[in-house]
């Protein structure tokens, strides 16, 4: 179980997240939804200890997550990756296991339909192929927790299906998956729970419980704290 307690985070002179608390259980896939600038990427980075200004606690099975960082795989948002960096598909995937050559790298490349592309530079791939490369790196890492930042952005229908199939299999095998997304369709319906975020956690529940006009209006409002929380069912609120 991953437990996040009162996580606040931001950048120098720019507080972003305030007091976010939630849990993530094995076999759970939780969606992170909110407007541009809500702090979804900031939350994923803060969890992983990638930001300088963080307070709060993050535990994985009763031990601080930062002491067992290798158990978490992170797939950053596309815009955070330097696609001109001179590295091949296979080299990226190998980074998941400390740069080693391993049969698992080749089998994972094959599983994700990337074997024939393994000697190509990552910058020479399509968006869907690039996203599959980073998913392959995460799989090779053998992590228990997967944090994915907008994995379906810029991918075609084939890559989308491959990614969804892998996530389903990971979940069945006991992984904990946290995924930020602007895709509200079928993808969101596959989530066990959805967290609505706008600098603070607005609501958590099943997609049916939280993807309602009222919750969404509040989440996407310029000033979400002005919403009348008393009118809502308490269990959904954080």
Ligand X SMILES: Nc1ncnc2c1ncn2[C@@H]1O[C@H](COP(=O)(O)OP(=O)(O)OP(=O)(O)O)[C@@H](O)[C@H]1O
Nearest residue to 180 via CA among 38, 65, 84, 18: 38
29: Cβ contacts below 8 Å, ≥ 6 apart = 167, 171, 177, 179, 190, 191, 192
Least separation in angstroms between residue 200's CB and ligand X is: 12
Least separation in angstroms between residue 135's CB and ligand X is: 19
Token pair, residue 74, equals 């992170």
Residue 202 CB-half CA count within 13 A: 30
Strand spans (E) along the chain: 2-11, 14-24, 29-33, 53-60, 63-64, 72-75, 145-149, 176-180, 193-198, 200-205
Of the two residues 59 and 220, which places its CB atom closer to ligand X in the complex? 220
The answer to whether 129 touches 118, Cβ cutoff 8 Å, is no
Of the two residues 36 and 228, which places its CB atom closer to ligand X in the complex? 36
Least separation in angstroms between residue 95's CB and ligand X is: 23
Task: Say how far apart CA 1 and CA 59 lie, in whole Å.
Answer: 8
Tell me the per-residue interface mask from 6 to 45 with ligand X, x by CB under 6 A, - otherwise: -----x--x-x-----------------x-xxxxxxx---
Task: Say how far apart CA 85 and CA 29 lie, in whole Å.
Answer: 31
Token pair, residue 85, equals 């960096």
Of the two residues 44 and 162, which places its CB atom closer to ligand X in the complex? 44
Nearest residue to 19 via CA among 27, 33, 9, 30: 9
Least separation in angstroms between residue 10's CB and ligand X is: 7
Of the two residues 20 and 105, which places its CB atom closer to ligand X in the complex? 20
Task: Say how far apart CA 60 and CA 71 lie, in whole Å.
Answer: 9
Of the two residues 114 and 204, which places its CB atom closer to ligand X in the complex? 204
Least separation in angstroms between residue 121's CB and ligand X is: 26
Of the two residues 39 and 205, which places its CB atom closer to ligand X in the complex? 39
**73 contacts ligand X (rule: CB under 6 A):** no
Least separation in angstroms between residue 34's CB and ligand X is: 6
Least separation in angstroms between residue 52's CB and ligand X is: 10
Site size for ligand X (CB under 6 A): 12
List contacts with ligand X (CB under 6 A): 11, 14, 16, 34, 36-42, 77
């Amino acid at each position: 179980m991953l437990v996040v307690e009162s996580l606040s985070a931001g950048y120098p002179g720019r507080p972003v997240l305030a007091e976010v608390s939630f849990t993530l259980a094995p076999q759970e896939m939780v969606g992170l939804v909110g407007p541009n600038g809500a702090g979804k990427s900031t939350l994923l980075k803060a969890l992983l200890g990638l930001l300088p200004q963080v307070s709060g606690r993050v535990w994985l099975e009763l031990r601080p997550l930062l002491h067992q960082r290798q158990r978490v795989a992170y797939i950053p948002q596309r815009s955070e990756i330097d696609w001109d960096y001179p590295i091949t598909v296979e080299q990226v995937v190998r980074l998941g296991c400390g740069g080693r050559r391993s049969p698992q790298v080749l089998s994972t490349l094959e599983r994700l339909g990337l074997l024939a592309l393994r000697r190509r530079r990552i910058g020479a791939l399509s968006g869907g192929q690039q996203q599959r490369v980073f998913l392959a790196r995460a799989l090779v890492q053998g992590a228990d927790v997967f944090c994915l930042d907008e994995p379906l952005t810029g991918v075609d229908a084939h890559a989308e299906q491959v990614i969804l199939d892998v996530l389903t299999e990971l979940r069945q095998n006991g992984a904990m998956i946290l995924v930020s997304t602007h895709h509200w369709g079928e993808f969101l319906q596959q989530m066990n729970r959805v967290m609505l975020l706008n600098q603070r956690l607005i609501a958590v529940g099943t997609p049916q419980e939280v993807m309602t006009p009222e919750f969404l209006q509040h989440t996407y409002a310029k000033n979400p704290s002005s919403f009348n929380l008393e009118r809502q069912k308490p269990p959904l609120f954080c």
